[in-house]
């Protein structure tokens, strides 16, 4: 998958070169391209923003410079054949909340272009234009708080998608039971050596080797934690995936799933 990051602060993305993502680049899973938006400016000051129509605080990023930049990076991957899926993602606090299933869905994109706005955001006609031109446009938010720009949110999306690509994870089983994966539950607590840490012991069931009991214990802890910290998730589980024991545990946590 090709991922293009466009920003007036390209140096922001240096951390993506290290760690797992660096490895993904080397293995050819991700072709990551980082671009300085100002390369597409034409004036002496390399301007990217202007005052908002209708008045108000702050500056708005101009559609003309974004249009030239986005056109060029999309053109680099060809004319967009039938099987090509080219997505323009725009991080913004007014976007749809990013979820694991959205990240999973994006793993089959051919190209993901992430346009990072600063100031009060990007002129709305940029999203509108590419949507009308037949591109998939995703205006997304990484949470109910406001950042200074889209760069951090772009790194979040890049990592969330890249780690799901086939061949990225050394052990793909790691993806199965983690939080926000299939079951819809948060992950159970995990422990490693030593057996005692500052007088805290490992839960006994994990030492016994009874795999069914361990599985039940983990599932109960996952249900408990989800009900406590994310009641919204606990209330929207897939009822068909819940066993009688799951329902009993949910009921003990004050979440009712009939039958």
Binding site for ligand ADE (CB under 6 A): 91-93, 141-143, 145-147, 150, 153
Closest approach, Cβ 130 to ligand ADE, in A, equals 17
b/e map of 133-160 (b: 16 or more CB within 10 Å)?
A: eebebbbbbbeeeeeebbbebbbbbbbb
DSSP string of 47-96, one letter each residue: --EEPPTT--SS-EE-HHHHHHHHHHHHHTT-S--TT--EEEEEEEEEEE
Name the residue nearer to ligand ADE (CB basis): 126 or 153: 153
Name the residue nearer to ligand ADE (CB basis): 22 or 95: 95
Closest approach, Cβ 201 to ligand ADE, in A, equals 40
Closest approach, Cβ 146 to ligand ADE, in A, equals 5
Closest approach, Cβ 49 to ligand ADE, in A, equals 15
SS3 content of the chain, % helix, strand, coil (to 5): 40, 20, 40
Name the residue nearer to ligand ADE (CB basis): 70 or 185: 70
Closest approach, Cβ 116 to ligand ADE, in A, equals 8
Closest approach, Cβ 38 to ligand ADE, in A, equals 19
Name the residue nearer to ligand ADE (CB basis): 7 or 141: 141
Find out whether 155 and 34 touch, Cβ atoms under 8 Å. Answer: no
Name the residue nearer to ligand ADE (CB basis): 151 or 224: 151
- Residue 149: half-sphere exposure toward Cβ, Cα within 13 Å: 19
Q: Which helix (H) or strand (E) holds 139?
A: strand 136-141
Taking alpha carbons only, the member of 228, 238, 137 closest to residue 184 is 238
Query: What does each C-alpha distance from 197 to 31, 187, 192, 244 come to in angstroms?
Result: 43, 22, 10, 35
Name the residue nearer to ligand ADE (CB basis): 97 or 172: 97
Name the residue nearer to ligand ADE (CB basis): 143 or 208: 143
Query: Does residue 38 sit in helix, strand or coil?
Result: helix
Q: Which residues pair with 60 in a beta bridge?
A: 50
Closest approach, Cβ 157 to ligand ADE, in A, equals 9
Q: How far apart are CA 44 and CA 157, in angstroms?
A: 33
């Amino acid at each position: 998958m090709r991922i293009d990051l466009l920003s007036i602060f390209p140096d922001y993305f240096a951390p993506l070169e290290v760690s797992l993502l660096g490895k993904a680049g080397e293995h050819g899973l991700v072709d990551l391209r980082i671009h300085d938006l100002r390369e597409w400016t034409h004036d002496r000051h390399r301007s990217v923003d202007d005052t908002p129509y209708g008045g108000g605080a702050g500056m708005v990023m101009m559609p003309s410079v974004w249009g030239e930049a986005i056109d060029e990076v999309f053109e680099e991957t060809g004319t967009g054949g039938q099987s090509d899926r080219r997505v323009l993602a725009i991080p913004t606090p007014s976007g749809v909340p990013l979820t694991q299933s959205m990240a999973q869905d994006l793993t089959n994109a051919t190209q993901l272009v992430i346009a990072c706005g600063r100031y009060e955001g990007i002129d709305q006609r940029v999203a509108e234009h590419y949507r009308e031109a037949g591109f998939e446009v995703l205006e997304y938010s990484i949470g109910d708080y406001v950042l200074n720009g889209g760069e951090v949110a772009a790194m979040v999306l890049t990592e969330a998608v890249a780690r799901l690509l086939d061949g990225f994870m050394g052990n793909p089983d790691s993806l199965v039971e983690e939080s926000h994966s299939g079951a819809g539950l948060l992950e159970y607590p995990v422990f490693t050596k030593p057996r005692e840490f500052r007088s805290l012991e490992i839960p006994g069931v994990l030492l016994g080797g009874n795999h069914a009991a361990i599985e039940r214990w983990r599932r109960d802890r996952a249900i408990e934690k989800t009900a406590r910290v994310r009641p919204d998730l606990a209330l929207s589980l897939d009822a068909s995936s819940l066993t009688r024991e799951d329902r009993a545990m949910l009921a003990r946590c004050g979440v009712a799933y009939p039958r």
